[in-house]
Structure 1
Amino acid sequence: MADYPIDKLGGRTPVEAARTPFLDFLAQNGQLGLVRTIPGGFPAGSDVANLTLLGYSPREYYSGRAPLEAASIGIHLNESDWAFRCNFITATEDTLEDFCAGHIKTDEAAIFIKLLNEKLGNDIIQFYTGKSYRHVMVYKGTQKMDARCFPPHDIMGQSIQKHLPKGNGSEILIDLMERSRVYLSNHDINNVRIDLEENPANMIWLWGQGHRPKMPTFKERFHLTGAVITAVDLIKGIACYLGWDIIQVPGATGYLDTNYANKGEYAVKALETHDIVLVHVEAPDEAGHEGNVHEKVLAIEQIDSKIIGPLLEARNRFHELRILVLPDHYTPIVKQTHTPESVPFVAYGTGIEKGIGLPYSETNAQASGLHIKEGHRLIEHLVSGVFR
């Protein structure tokens, strides 16, 4: 949800423009600061950022995005397997028009995944259905597959040819991507999507590859139990490796239409049986990628009223309660992709001293003077209640 000042909002950021009484209460009565979630040399991705936020230094534990997503949909990876994120995209001649193919529905995508396995799959290449436009391809061959691959959300409106994979295994990846276009372009589902003025899923985009990570569970590291509420496979995959429970919430979509109220309600309930609950909301990120200022402000307001509010109201039900709120990374409206600067966080609750007493915003977090540069230490501050 972090962003830059926007002219359309009178020089304010979406956070500053949004009505967030509960978030401001946390900031005015807790600790406001900055935390670096993207270590130097790493891409500004949700995989790196969320590992950091949960106390796992990417320098030690990061092995790629796709293996995390693979875990969430039950894919067992052998040590030598390569997992790739497989996006359905909309391609127009040489231009990557839409990194999510109009947020294609999962049931439509599942038909395409089945088709790809029939046409492109074999003993060493298999495709697996995830959700919406987010899927997984696993390569079990002997070729080293550490080609440089570009996240599709970083190259919207740009040349496909200039951003095809480069390096080890790139020939295999390019062949799969280009052949997918042949099979998908004239499929009946895409013809209907075009008739309905929806973006077709006429090509796959392979990226985010890696091997199965080796990491201790959260309980082994911190002696605490955890659960996650999210509709995004990446976050579910991290939870699998952490040994956390994944709580299914009706209406959670990973998009702008997610059910915020259910997420808040289920979060309160989950705290009755778990030490830590992570509530992940993708909507502000999606709005940032779409360059949609209105939807980003609305998403932030919904998070405040329907998730943070109910958690604050329920604080007397628990002997001790601490709340940490922050974005995993910036997704500025003007750039429509992720950027790596430190993000504003607020921590409030039992044992946490009051800080500078200002409302939550990027500028006020900067002014606080509290900057946690080793982001994987943030969770230790939350557990201890000490932010100095």
Structure 2
Amino acid sequence: MKYIVVLGDGMADRPIESLGNKTPLEYAKTPTMDKLASMGEIGMVHTVPDGMKPGSDTANLSVLGYNPRKYYSGRSPLEALSIGVPMKDTDIALRCNIVTLSEEEDNYEDRTIIDHSSSEISTEDAAVLLEAVRKELETDTYKFYVGTSYRHLLIWDKGEVVDLVQPHDVLGQKIGDKLPENEDLRNMMKKSYDILVNHPINIERKKRGLNPANSCWFWGAGTKPSLSSFSEKTHLKGAMISAVDLLKGIAVGASMKVINVEGANGGLNTNYAGKAQAAVDVLTKDGYDFVYVHLEGPDEMGHQGSVEKKVKAIENLDEKIINPIVAGLEAAGEDFRMVILPDHPTPISLRTHTGDSVPYLLYDSTDKQQHDWKYNEAEAAKTDNYIAEGHTLVDYLLSK
């Protein structure tokens, strides 16, 4: 038996008037998911423990079977694992987004955060900008490391876990009261704007109609993580397929195989075919038992507030990820159990995460059932199937 988790990051949502009061998942054309739902099980699962922030960090740890209350030590340290940063026990890791701030105001504090991803900036452009920041601001205490796209890292030697604001939580808001209380961090953010605002890459980006990547934004502070081995926990060989450093870091911490797919970028136009084929290959050719396929697109489109693009991201997940994985495993004659779900909702109306329960779909190729339901939030909520602790979902998946 092979086991697959397909995670549509932020895919869950709330009814939207322009979609006829349907959610993007309900509105999207998803024939593969609906077919699997009609032969499987749907229900709701609570992935983010009450009282914890509804982030992709806590939620994906939960879906992979790690109780966030026990294993979560911060988002950025998990990303540090992916990047290969050797953290000391006394280090603090912080996410360093390269964001877009408004430029009309005289004072940094009066600026508004326009875009947490700077138009999904390429890693290549972001690396050049971060190098400019590093040359001016890096010290023995603060070290910068390049990640992926807009997602980068700051390591603070002998630092402290300070409370910092997530940029995607304050889109469209003035930043004055959202800045770090820590003077060093706040000053580095302000100086980064001066370094980046007139950088040639940003001048060129604005000419092309793209948002300039004109400021660093620090958040997600945490300490060195310690996860138990996935294989020791489940007795299965597991692999991770994702373009996002957070997910790769969770996999590294869990001693899972990390599969890097060329052209996978965490955006709407990622390499879907490559990710799907990699999933099939690792299960049918490489001797692995479990694969976790993560797609960032729905979450990014939710943060952008784009109804049309979020619907498209969900349709791409159905057509270009789930359908070829199912077809590939069937063609190889493999029995498999697959669970499909979001990690958390990213409602278009809010442009940030919530901790609401999310719909799951469980399909077993050896136990096909007959139902008339489709996979979406409304129909999943109508069932009596509810998993109150998200970290137990993977045990349910592996129970056969």
For residues 319 and 192 of structure 1, do their structure 2 counterparts lie closer, same or farther at Cα, with a shift above 3 Å needed?
A: closer
1:138 has 2:128 as partner: no
User: For residue 72 of structure 2, what is the aligned residue in structure 1?
Assistant: 62
Q: Give runs of aligned pairs for residues 107-122 of structure 1, distance below 5 A.
A: 107-122=124-139
Relative distance call for 1:270 and 1:257 in structure 2 (3 A) is same
For residues 31 and 281 of structure 1, the distance between their equivalents in structure 2, rounded to whole angstroms, comes to 22
The alpha-carbon distance between structure 1 residues 198 and 350, as it changes in their structure 2 partners (threshold 3 A), is closer
Aligned position for 1:281:
295
Alignment match of 1:8 (pick from 18, 23, 39): 18
Stretches of structure 2 lacking an aligned partner (at least 5 in a row): 1-10, 106-110
Residue type matched to 2:312 in 1?
L
Map of 2:317 onto structure 1? 303
Question: Could you tell me which residue of structure 2 aligns to residue 255 of structure 1?
Answer: 267
In structure 2, the residue matched to 1:218 is 230
1:354 Cα deviation from its structure 2 partner:
3.9
Match 2:385 to one of 343, 346, 370: 370
The answer as to 2:194 corresponding to 1:179 is no
- Separation in 1 of the partners of 2:335 and 2:205? 51
- The corresponding residue for 1:82 is 92
Correspondence for 1:96 among 113, 132, 142: 113
2:168 is matched with 153
Matching residue of 2:251: 239
C-alpha distance in 2 between matches for 1:265 and 1:21: 20
CA distance in 1: counterparts of 2:311 and 2:209, whole angstroms? 26
**2:7 matched to which residue of 1?**
none
Separation (CA, whole Å) in 1 of partners of 2:164 and 2:302: 22
What one-letter code is carried by the residue in structure 2 that aligns with 1:293? V
CA-CA distance at 1:353 after TM superposition:
7.0
Q: In 2 relative to 1, CA 246–236 (structure 1 residues): closer, same or farther, beyond 3 Å?
A: same
Give, in angstroms, the shift of residue 139 of structure 1: 0.5
| Distance of 1:46 and 1:278 partners within structure 2 | 14
TM-superposed CA distance for 1:197, in Å, is 2.4
CA contact 2:336–2:366 (8 Å) conserved in 1: no
In 1, are the aligned partners of 2:42 and 2:383 still within 8 Å (CA)?
Answer: yes
In the alignment, the residues of structure 2 paired with residue 346 and residue 206 of structure 1 have an alpha-carbon distance, to the nearest angstrom, of: 36
- Give 1:17-96 correspondences, 5 Å limit: 17-92=27-102, 93=105, 94-96=111-113
Greater Cα offset, 156-165 or 313-322: 313-322
Counterparts of 1:21 and 1:90, CA distance in 2: 37
**C-alpha contact 1:31 1:355 (8 A) present in aligned 2:** no
CA distance in 2 between counterparts of 1:291 and 1:384 reads: 38
Q: How many residues get paired?
A: 380
- Cα contact 2:15–2:21 (8 A) shared by 1: yes
Shift of 1:214: 1.3
Residue of structure 2 equivalent to 1:341: 356
CA drift of 1:6 comes to: 1.1
1:202-241, Cα deviation, whole Å (9 max, x unpaired): 1100000101111211011111111111111111111101
Partner of 2:239: 227
Amino acid at match of 1:30: G
TM-score when normalising by structure 1: 0.95
Question: How far does residue 287 in structure 1 lie from its aligned partner after superposition?
Answer: 1.0
Match for residue 5 of structure 2?
none
2:99 match: secondary structure: strand
Q: Percent of aligned positions with the same letter in both sequences?
A: 45
SS of 1:381's partner is helix
Are the aligned partners of 2:163 and 2:221 in contact in 1 as well (CA < 8 Å)? no
Kindly provide the amino acid, as one letter, of the partner of residue 137 in structure 2: L
Q: Deviations over 1:345-380 (max 9, x none)?
A: 001115657485411010111111111011100000
> Which consecutive residues of structure 1, in runs of 5 or more, have no partner in the other structure?
none
Letter in 2 for 1:289: H
Distance in 2 (CA, whole Å) between partners of 1:68 and 1:199 is 28
Distance 1:178 1:172 in 2: 10
1:203 has 2:215 as partner: yes
3-state SS, counterpart of residue 137 of structure 1: strand
Residues 126-148 of structure 1: CA distance to partner in whole angstroms, max 9, x if unpaired? 1001111100000113x4x2221
Question: What's the CA shift for 1:82?
Answer: 0.3
- Aligned residue number for residue 269 of structure 1: 281
How much has 1:326 moved relative to structure 2?
Answer: 0.3
* Alpha-carbon contact 1:66-1:85 (below 8 Å) kept: yes
Bigger RCO of structures 1 and 2 (CA < 8 A, at least 6 apart): 2
Q: For residues 181-214 of structure 1, give each alpha carbon's deviation from its aligned partner in whole angstroms, at most 9, with x where no partner exists.
A: 1211122222222222221111100000101111
Q: Structure 2 vs 1, CA of residues 199 and 319 (structure 1 numbering), >3 Å: closer, same or farther?
A: closer
SS in 2 for 1:384: coil
